[in-house]
C-alpha cells in the first residue's frame, strides 16, 4: 500500500501496512551493489572523516530512542566502532562530555521533539558534529544538524510510531554499512547486507500477511493486566519497543526486561496471569534464550515466542510467531513488525482509539 490508499482504517493500521513501500523509499538510490556499500550524500562527510570517527552516540526519545539502541548494535557489529544510544532528554541534562571524534546521531520522525533538538544544540554549542536521521524534511532538527539521512517514510500521523521506526532502522543499516566499508567490513559482507536490505520489503509483506494469527495472539494478551516483553542483546531493544507500543495504545502494563536478567527479579512475578512475549532471534544466543523460557514455562507463565522458523523450541509450550530470516544483523527489524500488529489488535479488541492514545502527543515540542 502507498500513503492514503486505505482510507477509513485507523491511521496506525494503514501506516503499519505501508512499511514495505516506505522501506523501499529509504533504500532507493542509496545502495552501491558493485562496492557493497551505501551512498549517503547528505552526511557531508568525506571517507577520511568517516574513518576518523572513534565513537557513535545516538540520541532520540520514545521509539526513536529504542531504534537508536538497535542502530548502535548495527554500528558496532558492522563497523566495529563503539556505539550506544541514550534518551536525548537525559543526555542534555547531565553535562555530557562532547568529543571531537564522536559522531552524534539525532533520531526523530517529526524533527521537532524538543529534547532531541536541545540535545543537538548542546552538542553543537560544544563543537561536536551531529547528523540527523529525520523523516520530516526541513524540520528544526534537520536544520540544526550538520548533515543527515532523510527517511522518506512519508507522513506519519498516528501517535504510535510504526513506519518511521522501520525506516530509521534501515537508515542505521545504511550508515553502519558505509562506516563499515571505510573500515574492515569486507566487500563480500557489504554485498551480503545489501542483498539482505533488498529482501526486507518482501519479507515485511510476508509478516503482514500473518495478521489473523497475530490478532489471535493479541486477543489472548489483551486479557492480561500485566505482561513482560523479553529479549537479549539484539532482541532487547525489540522487546522495549514491543512493550512501549502495547502499553501506549492498549493501556495494559507491559515491562521490557533482558532475558538474561530474568532470574534477578521478574521471575518472582511469573504466574499463569502474567504472560511473557519473548524475542528469540536465530543467533549465537538462541539456546540460552530457549533455556530461560523453560524457566518461565516451569512457573506456568504463558509464553508468546517471536522467532524464526529455523529456531527449534523443543518441547516448550508456547504460542509461536514466526518471521522470515534475513541476515542476522537485520533480523531485529523483522522481529519488531509482528509486535506492532499485536499492539494494534490488543488495543482494538479492548475498544480503544489507537490513533489518539490518552495523555500522549505525536510530537512533544514544549518542555
Ligand atoms: C512521542 C511519540 C512517540 C515518538 C516520540 C519521538 O512521544 O508519541 O511515538 O517515538 O515522541 O518522536 P520523534 O518525532 O522525535 O521521533
Please say if the pLDDT value at position 6 is more than 70.
no
Best mutation site among 70, 113, 358 for ligand 1 pocket (most ligand atoms within 8 Å of CB): 113
- Overall average pLDDT of the 343-356 stretch: 93
Please say if the pLDDT value at position 64 is more than 60.
yes
How many residues are listed for the chain in this entry?
367
Q: How many beta carbons lie within 10 A of that of residue 251, not counting itself?
A: 14
Q: Quote the ligand 1 centre to 64 CA distance (angstroms).
A: 7
Helix (H), strand (E), coil (C) string for the chain: CCCCCCCCCCHHHHHHHCHHHHHHHHHCCCEECCCCEECCHHHCCCHHHHHCCCEEEEEECCHHHHHHHHHHHHHHHHHCCCEEEEEHHHHCCCCCCCCCCEEEEEEECCCCCHHHHHHHHHHHHCCCEEEEEECCCCCHHHHHCCEEEECCCCCCCCCCCCHHHHHHHHHHHHHHHHHHHCCCCCHHHHHHHHHHHHHHHHHHHHHHCCHHHHHHHHHHHCCCCEEEEEECCCHHHHHHHHHHHHHHHHCCEEEEEEHHHHHHCHHHHCECCECEEEECCCCCCHHHHHHHHHHHHHCCCCEEEEECCCCCCCCCCCEEEECCCCCCCCHHHHHHHHHHHHHHHHHHHCCCCCCCCCCCCCCCCCC
Could you report the per-residue pLDDT of 65-118, keeping only the tens digit for each? 999 999 999 999 999 999 999 999 999 889 899 999 999 999 999 999 999 999
Q: Quote the ligand 1 centre to 111 CA distance (angstroms).
A: 9
The per-residue pLDDT for 2 is 59
The per-residue pLDDT for 359 is 81
The per-residue pLDDT for 267 is 84
Please say if the pLDDT value at position 258 is more than 90.
yes
Atom of ligand 1 at shortest range from CA of 159: 8
- Give the chain's largest Cα–Cα span: 57
d(CA 185, CA 199): 20
Q: Quote the ligand 1 centre to 339 CA distance (angstroms).
A: 17
Q: Quote the ligand 1 centre to 63 CA distance (angstroms).
A: 6
The per-residue pLDDT for 285 is 94
The torsion of the CA quartet 257, 261, 264, 265, rounded to 10 degrees, works out to: 10
Q: How many beta carbons lie within 10 A of that of residue 287, not counting itself?
A: 10
| Residue 346 binned pLDDT confidence (cut-offs 50, 70, 90) | very high
Question: Which residues line the pocket of ligand 1, CB cutoff 6 A?
Answer: 61-64, 108-110, 113, 116, 159-161, 360, 362-364
Q: Quote the ligand 1 centre to 71 CA distance (angstroms).
A: 17
What is the residue with the minimal CA distance to atom 7 of ligand 1? 62
The per-residue pLDDT for 5 is 59
The per-residue pLDDT for 4 is 56
The per-residue pLDDT for 172 is 98
d(CA 322, CA 331): 12
Q: Which of 43-47, 107-111, 195-199, 263-267 has the lowest mean pLDDT?
A: 263-267
What is the residue with the minimal CA distance to atom 3 of ligand 1? 62
The per-residue pLDDT for 1 is 60
Atom of ligand 1 at shortest range from CA of 62: 10
Phi-psi region of 138 (alpha: psi -120 to 50; beta: other; left: phi over 0): left
Is the pTM higher than 0.90? The answer reads yes
The per-residue pLDDT for 263 is 86
Best mutation site among 11, 58, 61, 246 for ligand 1 pocket (most ligand atoms within 8 Å of CB): 61
The per-residue pLDDT for 48 is 93
Q: Quote the ligand 1 centre to 161 CA distance (angstroms).
A: 7
Could you report the per-residue pLDDT of 166-213, keeping only the tens digit for each? 999 999 999 999 999 999 999 999 999 999 999 999 999 999 999 999
Best mutation site among 63, 135, 243, 343 for ligand 1 pocket (most ligand atoms within 8 Å of CB): 63
- Overall average pLDDT of the 294-300 stretch: 95
d(CA 113, CA 6): 28
Atom of ligand 1 at shortest range from CA of 361: 8
**Contact 250/341 with Cβ under 8 angstroms?**
no
- Overall average pLDDT of the 2-27 stretch: 87
Q: Give the chain's mean pLDDT.
A: 95
Q: Quote the ligand 1 centre to 240 CA distance (angstroms).
A: 14
Q: Which of 2-6, 44-48, 313-317 has the lowest mean pLDDT?
A: 2-6
The per-residue pLDDT for 356 is 86
Please say if the pLDDT value at position 3 is more than 60.
no
What is the residue with the minimal CA distance to atom 2 of ligand 1? 362
Please say if the pLDDT value at position 152 is more than 80.
yes
Task: List CB contacts of 222: < 8 A, sequence separation 6 or more.
Answer: 250, 252, 345, 346, 347, 349, 350
- Overall average pLDDT of the 132-161 stretch: 95
Q: Quote the ligand 1 centre to 353 CA distance (angstroms).
A: 18
| Residue 268 binned pLDDT confidence (cut-offs 50, 70, 90) | confident
Q: Quote the ligand 1 centre to 205 CA distance (angstroms).
A: 25
Atom of ligand 1 at shortest range from CA of 110: 14
* % of the chain beyond a pLDDT of 90: 89
- Overall average pLDDT of the 348-354 stretch: 92
Parallel, antiparallel, or unpaired: how do β-strands 102-108 and 83-87 relate? Answer: unpaired
Parallel, antiparallel, or unpaired: how do β-strands 303-307 and 319-322 relate? Answer: parallel
d(CA 362, CA 217): 27
Amino acid at each position: 500500500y502507498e500513503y492514503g490508499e486505505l482510507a477509513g482504517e485507523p491511521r496506525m493500521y494503514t501506516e503499519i501496512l505501508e512499511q514495505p513501500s516506505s522501506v523501499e523509499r529509504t533504500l532507493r538510490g542509496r545502495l552501491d551493489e558493485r562496492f557493497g556499500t551505501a551512498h549517503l550524500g547528505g552526511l557531508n562527510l568525506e571517507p577520511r572523516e568517516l574513518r576518523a570517527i572513534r565513537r557513535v552516540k545516538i540520541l532520540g526519545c520514545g521509539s526513536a530512542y529504542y531504534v537508536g539502541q538497535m542502530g548502535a548494535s548495527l554500528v558496532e557489529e558492522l563497523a566495529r566502532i563503539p556505539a550506544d544510544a541514550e534518551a536525548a532528554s537525559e543526555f542534555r541534562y547531565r553535562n555530557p562530555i562532547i568529543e571531537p571524534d564522536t559522531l552524534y546521531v539525532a533520531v526523530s520522525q517529526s524533527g521537532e521533539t524538543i529534547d532531541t533538538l536541545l540535545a543537538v544544540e548542546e552538542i553543537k554549542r560544544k563543537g561536536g558534529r551531529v547528523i540527523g536521521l529525520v523523516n520530516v524534511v526541513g524540520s528544526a532538527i534537520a536544520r540544526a544538524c550538520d548533515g543527515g539521512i532523510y527517511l522518506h517514510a512519508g507522513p506519519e500521523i498516528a501517535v504510535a510510531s510504526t513506519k518511521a521506526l522501520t525506516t530509521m532502522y534501515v537508515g542505521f543499516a545504511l550508515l553502519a554499512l558505509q562506516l563499515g566499508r571505510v573500515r574492515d567490513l569486507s566487500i563480500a559482507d557489504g554485498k551480503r547486507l545489501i542483498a539482505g536490505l533488498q529482501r526486507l520489503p518482501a519479507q515485511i509483506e510476508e509478516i503482514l500477511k500473518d495478521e489473523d494469527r497475530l490478532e489471535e495472539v493479541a486477543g489472548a494478551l489483551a486479557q492480561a493486566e500485566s505482561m513482560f516483553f523479553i529479549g537479549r542483546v539484539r532482541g532487547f531493544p525489540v522487546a522495549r519497543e514491543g512493550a512501549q507500543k502495547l502499553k501506549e495504545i492498549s493501556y495494559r502494563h507491559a515491562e521490557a526486561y533482558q532475558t538474561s536478567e530474568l532470574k534477578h527479579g521478574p521471575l518472582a512475578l511469573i504466574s499463569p496471569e502474567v504472560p511473557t512475549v519473548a524475542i528469540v532471534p536465530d543467533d549465537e544466543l538462541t539456546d540460552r534464550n530457549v533455556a530461560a523460557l523453560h524457566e518461565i514455562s516451569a512457573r506456568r507463565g504463558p509464553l508468546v515466542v517471536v522467532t524464526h522458523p529455523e529456531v527449534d523450541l523443543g518441547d516448550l509450550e508456547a504460542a509461536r510467531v514466526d518471521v522470515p530470516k534475513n541476515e542476522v544483523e537485520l533480523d531485529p527489524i523483522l522481529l519488531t513488525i509482528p509486535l506492532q500488529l499485536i499492539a494494534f489488535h490488543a488495543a482494538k479488541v479492548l475498544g480503544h482509539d489507537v490513533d489518539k492514545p490518552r495523555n500522549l502527543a505525536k510530537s512533544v515540542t514544549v518542555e
